[in-house]
Amino acid sequence: MTSTKKKALFINFESIDNAGKSTLISDIKREFCKYIPVYITNELTTDVGAILLQKLKDKSLDIYEKVLLFAADRQQRYSKDIRPKLNTRCLFLSDRWFYSAIAYRCAEDPSIKSYVEEVNKIFIKPNVTFYIDITAAESIKRGKIADKIYYTQSFLNKVRREYLNLISHYNFIMIDGQRQYELVKKDVFIKIENLLN
Protein backbone atom coordinates (compact mmCIF):
# COMPACT_ATOMS: atom_id res chain seq x y z
CA MET A 1 0.00 0.00 0.00
CA THR A 2 1.79 3.08 -1.22
CA SER A 3 -0.90 5.76 -1.29
CA THR A 4 -3.63 6.41 1.24
CA LYS A 5 -5.37 8.56 -1.38
CA LYS A 6 -6.42 5.47 -3.31
CA LYS A 7 -5.83 2.57 -0.97
CA ALA A 8 -6.75 1.64 2.57
CA LEU A 9 -4.52 2.51 5.49
CA PHE A 10 -4.43 -0.56 7.75
CA ILE A 11 -3.58 0.37 11.34
CA ASN A 12 -3.26 -2.30 14.00
CA PHE A 13 -3.22 -1.96 17.79
CA GLU A 14 -1.49 -4.41 20.11
CA SER A 15 -1.07 -4.61 23.87
CA ILE A 16 -1.51 -6.84 26.83
CA ASP A 17 -4.97 -6.80 28.41
CA ASN A 18 -6.56 -3.60 29.76
CA ALA A 19 -4.28 -1.13 27.96
CA GLY A 20 -7.23 0.78 26.52
CA LYS A 21 -7.06 -0.38 22.89
CA SER A 22 -10.82 -0.71 22.40
CA THR A 23 -11.56 2.74 23.83
CA LEU A 24 -8.79 4.28 21.75
CA ILE A 25 -10.01 2.62 18.54
CA SER A 26 -13.58 3.85 19.18
CA ASP A 27 -12.34 7.40 19.74
CA ILE A 28 -10.23 7.28 16.59
CA LYS A 29 -13.22 6.18 14.54
CA ARG A 30 -15.41 8.90 16.05
CA GLU A 31 -12.88 11.60 15.13
CA PHE A 32 -11.51 10.44 11.79
CA CYS A 33 -14.78 9.30 10.22
CA LYS A 34 -15.38 13.02 9.64
CA TYR A 35 -12.66 12.92 6.98
CA ILE A 36 -12.37 9.35 5.73
CA PRO A 37 -14.40 6.11 5.91
CA VAL A 38 -13.29 4.19 9.01
CA TYR A 39 -13.80 0.48 9.68
CA ILE A 40 -13.01 -1.56 12.79
CA THR A 41 -12.14 -5.24 12.95
CA ASN A 42 -11.94 -7.16 16.24
CA GLU A 43 -10.91 -10.61 17.37
CA LEU A 44 -13.63 -13.18 18.10
CA THR A 45 -16.34 -11.41 16.11
CA THR A 46 -16.69 -14.06 13.37
CA ASP A 47 -18.51 -17.42 13.26
CA VAL A 48 -15.24 -19.13 14.16
CA GLY A 49 -14.65 -16.52 16.84
CA ALA A 50 -17.95 -17.38 18.56
CA ILE A 51 -16.92 -21.05 18.75
CA LEU A 52 -13.45 -20.11 19.93
CA LEU A 53 -14.79 -17.81 22.63
CA GLN A 54 -16.94 -20.59 24.06
CA LYS A 55 -14.09 -23.07 24.02
CA LEU A 56 -11.81 -20.57 25.72
CA LYS A 57 -14.40 -20.19 28.48
CA ASP A 58 -14.62 -23.97 28.79
CA LYS A 59 -10.79 -24.20 28.79
CA SER A 60 -11.14 -27.10 26.37
CA LEU A 61 -8.42 -26.14 23.86
CA ASP A 62 -4.80 -27.16 23.67
CA ILE A 63 -2.26 -24.60 22.49
CA TYR A 64 -2.18 -25.85 18.88
CA GLU A 65 -5.96 -25.63 18.61
CA LYS A 66 -5.75 -22.04 19.87
CA VAL A 67 -3.19 -21.16 17.19
CA LEU A 68 -5.32 -22.66 14.41
CA LEU A 69 -8.69 -21.31 15.57
CA PHE A 70 -7.39 -17.79 16.17
CA ALA A 71 -5.86 -17.93 12.68
CA ALA A 72 -9.21 -19.09 11.24
CA ASP A 73 -10.96 -16.22 13.02
CA ARG A 74 -8.33 -13.84 11.61
CA GLN A 75 -8.79 -15.22 8.10
CA GLN A 76 -12.55 -14.61 8.28
CA ARG A 77 -11.92 -11.06 9.46
CA TYR A 78 -9.55 -10.54 6.54
CA SER A 79 -11.67 -12.11 3.80
CA LYS A 80 -14.99 -10.54 4.87
CA ASP A 81 -14.00 -7.22 6.42
CA ILE A 82 -10.62 -6.14 5.10
CA ARG A 83 -9.85 -7.56 1.66
CA PRO A 84 -12.96 -6.16 -0.11
CA LYS A 85 -11.96 -2.63 0.90
CA LEU A 86 -8.17 -2.71 0.48
CA ASN A 87 -8.31 -0.79 -2.80
CA THR A 88 -10.63 1.91 -1.50
CA ARG A 89 -9.63 5.03 0.36
CA CYS A 90 -10.42 4.20 3.98
CA LEU A 91 -8.93 3.70 7.39
CA PHE A 92 -8.91 0.19 8.86
CA LEU A 93 -8.44 -0.13 12.62
CA SER A 94 -7.65 -3.60 13.88
CA ASP A 95 -7.91 -4.60 17.53
CA ARG A 96 -4.99 -7.06 17.36
CA TRP A 97 -3.63 -8.99 14.42
CA PHE A 98 -1.34 -12.00 14.11
CA TYR A 99 1.26 -10.43 16.42
CA SER A 100 -0.99 -11.23 19.37
CA ALA A 101 -0.84 -14.91 18.40
CA ILE A 102 2.95 -14.81 18.65
CA ALA A 103 2.94 -12.92 21.95
CA TYR A 104 0.24 -14.88 23.78
CA ARG A 105 0.97 -18.38 22.51
CA CYS A 106 4.73 -18.01 22.99
CA ALA A 107 4.10 -16.76 26.52
CA GLU A 108 2.38 -20.12 27.05
CA ASP A 109 5.11 -22.13 25.34
CA PRO A 110 8.15 -20.41 23.75
CA SER A 111 9.08 -23.59 21.87
CA ILE A 112 6.18 -23.20 19.40
CA LYS A 113 7.21 -19.79 18.07
CA SER A 114 8.23 -21.09 14.63
CA TYR A 115 4.93 -22.99 14.35
CA VAL A 116 2.89 -19.89 15.23
CA GLU A 117 4.83 -17.82 12.70
CA GLU A 118 4.38 -20.45 9.99
CA VAL A 119 0.61 -20.66 10.52
CA ASN A 120 0.29 -16.87 10.43
CA LYS A 121 2.64 -16.04 7.56
CA ILE A 122 -0.31 -15.90 5.13
CA PHE A 123 -1.59 -12.67 6.68
CA ILE A 124 -0.76 -9.24 5.32
CA LYS A 125 1.20 -6.92 7.55
CA PRO A 126 -0.54 -3.73 8.66
CA ASN A 127 0.83 -0.43 7.37
CA VAL A 128 1.38 0.56 10.98
CA THR A 129 1.13 -1.20 14.33
CA PHE A 130 0.84 0.80 17.53
CA TYR A 131 1.96 -1.11 20.61
CA ILE A 132 0.34 0.38 23.72
CA ASP A 133 2.74 -0.52 26.52
CA ILE A 134 1.61 -0.99 30.10
CA THR A 135 3.07 -3.17 32.83
CA ALA A 136 1.44 -6.41 33.93
CA ALA A 137 0.82 -4.84 37.34
CA GLU A 138 -1.03 -1.95 35.70
CA SER A 139 -3.08 -4.39 33.63
CA ILE A 140 -4.19 -6.23 36.75
CA LYS A 141 -4.93 -2.95 38.55
CA ARG A 142 -7.17 -1.73 35.71
CA GLY A 143 -8.70 -5.18 35.32
CA LYS A 144 -9.83 -5.20 38.94
CA ILE A 145 -11.61 -1.87 38.48
CA ALA A 146 -13.40 -3.07 35.33
CA ASP A 147 -13.81 -6.68 36.51
CA LYS A 148 -11.80 -7.87 33.50
CA ILE A 149 -9.02 -10.13 34.68
CA TYR A 150 -8.42 -13.13 32.44
CA TYR A 151 -4.76 -13.90 33.18
CA THR A 152 -2.33 -13.81 36.07
CA GLN A 153 0.21 -11.03 36.48
CA SER A 154 2.98 -13.58 35.94
CA PHE A 155 1.54 -14.65 32.59
CA LEU A 156 0.98 -11.05 31.45
CA ASN A 157 4.62 -10.31 32.27
CA LYS A 158 5.58 -13.05 29.83
CA VAL A 159 3.21 -11.72 27.16
CA ARG A 160 4.64 -8.21 27.56
CA ARG A 161 8.18 -9.55 27.16
CA GLU A 162 7.14 -11.31 23.95
CA TYR A 163 5.62 -8.08 22.62
CA LEU A 164 8.73 -6.09 23.50
CA ASN A 165 10.79 -8.61 21.53
CA LEU A 166 8.56 -8.02 18.49
CA ILE A 167 8.84 -4.23 18.45
CA SER A 168 12.04 -3.85 16.43
CA HIS A 169 11.43 -6.91 14.24
CA TYR A 170 8.06 -5.61 13.02
CA ASN A 171 8.70 -1.85 13.42
CA PHE A 172 5.94 -1.22 15.94
CA ILE A 173 5.34 2.33 17.13
CA MET A 174 5.59 2.08 20.89
CA ILE A 175 3.18 4.22 22.90
CA ASP A 176 3.53 4.72 26.66
CA GLY A 177 0.14 3.53 27.89
CA GLN A 178 0.94 4.21 31.55
CA ARG A 179 0.12 7.89 31.04
CA GLN A 180 -3.28 9.54 31.38
CA TYR A 181 -5.57 8.35 28.60
CA GLU A 182 -5.97 11.82 27.03
CA LEU A 183 -2.19 12.02 26.54
CA VAL A 184 -2.12 8.58 24.90
CA LYS A 185 -5.02 9.53 22.63
CA LYS A 186 -3.43 12.84 21.60
CA ASP A 187 -0.14 11.07 20.80
CA VAL A 188 -1.84 8.47 18.59
CA PHE A 189 -4.15 11.01 16.90
CA ILE A 190 -1.18 13.14 15.85
CA LYS A 191 0.63 10.13 14.43
CA ILE A 192 -2.42 9.01 12.44
CA GLU A 193 -2.93 12.54 11.10
CA ASN A 194 0.69 12.51 9.88
CA LEU A 195 0.14 9.13 8.20
CA LEU A 196 -2.97 10.35 6.40
CA ASN A 197 -1.22 13.51 5.23
Q: What CATH number does the domain containing 99 carry? A: 3.40.50.300
C-alpha 127/C-alpha 195 separation (Å) is: 10
| Residues 83-92 pLDDT 10s | 999 999 999 9
Domain that holds residue 46: 9-191
Residues in the chain: 197
Side chain identity at 109, as an amino acid letter? D
User: Which residue, 72, 9, 10, is CA-closest to 44?
Assistant: 72
Residue 2 lies in a domain: no
Residue 196 lies in a domain: no
- pTM score: 0.92
- What pLDDT is recorded for position 6? 61
C-alpha 159/C-alpha 154 separation (Å) is: 9
Domain count of the fold of the chain: 1
Residue 100 lies in a domain: yes
Residue 32 lies in a domain: yes
The answer, yes or no, to whether residue 46 has pLDDT greater than 80, is yes
Band of pLDDT at residue 59, cut at 50, 70 and 90: confident
Side chain identity at 125, as an amino acid letter? K
The answer, yes or no, to whether residue 24 has pLDDT greater than 50, is yes
Side chain identity at 170, as an amino acid letter? Y
Residue 1 lies in a domain: no
Q: Is the dihedral of CA 11, 17, 22, 28 positive or negative?
A: negative
